[in-house]
Amino acid sequence: MNHLQTKCYKVDPETPEASVIAEAAALIRKGEVVAFPTETVYGLGADAFNEEAVCKIFIAKGRQPDNPLIVHISNMNQVSALIKSVPDEARLLMDRFWPGPLTMVMESLPSVASAARAGGNTVGVRMPRHPVALALIDEAGPLAAPSANLSGRPSPTTPEHVKNDLDGRISAILDAGPTGMGIESTVLDMTQKPFRILRPGGISMEELEEVLPGMVETAEAKGPADRYPHYQTRARVILLSEPADVASALHEYKKQGKKVGLVAHSDEEYRHIEKESDLVYWLPPSAEEAGKRLYAVLRDADERGLDILFFEPYPEEGKGSALMYRLKKSSQRLEE
Ligand code: TXA
Ligand code: MG
């Protein structure tokens, strides 16, 4: 299914050119799908009220139809076009975290394309913090948009990632350079109490607790996406538990002729095996900073033909929880 001529528009990330936004918005209004930057990752957007257009997203990504999409808005007036009644607690979170990486699942109005809701009666809504996304939504209206990758692959943090996965499958890409945060939004189910985190992300549990103490469940519950593999790479991702583990395992894989990479942030503990690895990615010690590079590292490891990717874990707290959630998914193989 590579039959479209994918147009690529350069756009200024801070002050998007009106002419570019107008062209992209015209494509959206015609029912086409367009990739655009958000502060987290690139999204693949379609008119949230156009059933046929939203279906094109699922086809382009190869996404399962029972996995619903987030609807992106640019101002608070749009909320009432999507949501039946907004819980008071959701308003508090909107005040504090929007625009930003928090998606809230609430009861949907029937006007939202059924495909975006995966046929259900809830919809996830968020207001992204990116001038290009906001300008596009201002002109085109609310956009249903998942991450702009082929289903199962790491999310795209650069326009090149989008091109590699979706060239010929979508109408256009708005190229505003790399995204900032690198990890997707937190998805919070507000349809029942306590509110449940379906996917940890850019807003941490601790931050949510500050606004709604005792009202958010820490353990992430099962969301619709958990039925499917995510962040899959050709290289097998292996999470290390001890630095000591790695030396003997590395020798073993090398003996089998495998190409082995290492992703680490503790210099003293891993420096000794640097020379024996085919490739080492040194990440920052802060999980938040490391998150910005995670998907680029996973994609790069594949491009370089690595078979094994050893990964030094981060502590599972604050922003580290979101990073580790993704690494664990990545280390679970399709065939398992
Ligand atoms: O940062 C982000 O969230 C990015 C940017 C583009 O906004 N989007 C993104 O979308 O990561 P996607 O489709 O790759 O992930 C959306 C997640 C999925 O796990 C999906 O199951 C969940 O949100 N979700 C969306 N709508 C839902 C709903 N109505 N009920 C339960 N889960 C929902
Ligand atoms: Mg995704």
| pLDDT for residue 219 | 65
Q: Tell me the ligand closest to 230's alpha carbon.
A: 2
Q: Whose CA is nearest to atom 12 of ligand 1?
A: 146
Pairwise CA distance, residues 182 & 200, whole Å: 13
Q: Tell me the ligand closest to 128's alpha carbon.
A: 1
Tell which atom from ligand 1 comes closest to the C-alpha of 108.
29
Global pTM exceeds 0.75:
yes
Residue 148: which of 49, 51, 226, 70 has the closest Cα? 70
Pairwise CA distance, residues 308 & 323, whole Å: 19
8 alpha carbon to ligand 1 midpoint, in Å?
25
Q: What is the pLDDT of residues 20-53, one digit of tens each?
A: 999 999 999 999 999 999 999 999 999 999 999 9
Residue 47: which of 104, 116, 95 has the closest Cα? 116
User: What confidence tier does 227 reach under pLDDT thresholds 50, 70, 90?
Assistant: confident
254 alpha carbon to ligand 1 midpoint, in Å?
39
Within 13 Å, how many C-alpha atoms sit on residue 281's CB side? 22
Question: In which order are the strands placed within the sheet that holds 260-264?
Answer: 236-239, 308-311, 260-264, 279-282
Q: Dig out the tokens for 6 from the structure.
A: 């994918």
Q: What is the pLDDT of residues 276-313, one digit of tens each?
A: 899 999 999 999 999 999 999 999 999 999 999 999 99
Q: Which amino acid is at 186?
A: T
Which of 127, 166, 187 to mutate for ligand 1's pocket (most ligand atoms within 8 Å of CB)? 187
Tell which atom from ligand 1 comes closest to the C-alpha of 149.
14
Q: Which residues contact 12 (CB under 8 A, 6 or more apart)?
A: 176
| Mean pLDDT confidence for 249-255 | 92
* pLDDT higher than 60, residue 335: no
For ligand 1, is residue 100 a contact (CB within 6 Å)?
no
Q: What is the pLDDT of residues 120-166, one digit of tens each?
A: 999 999 999 999 999 999 999 999 999 999 999 999 999 999 999 99
Q: Whose CA is nearest to atom 6 of ligand 1?
A: 43
Average pLDDT over the chain, rounded to whole?
95
For ligand 1, is residue 144 a contact (CB within 6 Å)?
no
For ligand 1, is residue 184 a contact (CB within 6 Å)?
yes
Pairwise CA distance, residues 329 & 227, whole Å: 11
Computed from CA positions of residues 233, 35, 119, 108, in that sequence, does the dihedral angle turn out positive or negative? positive
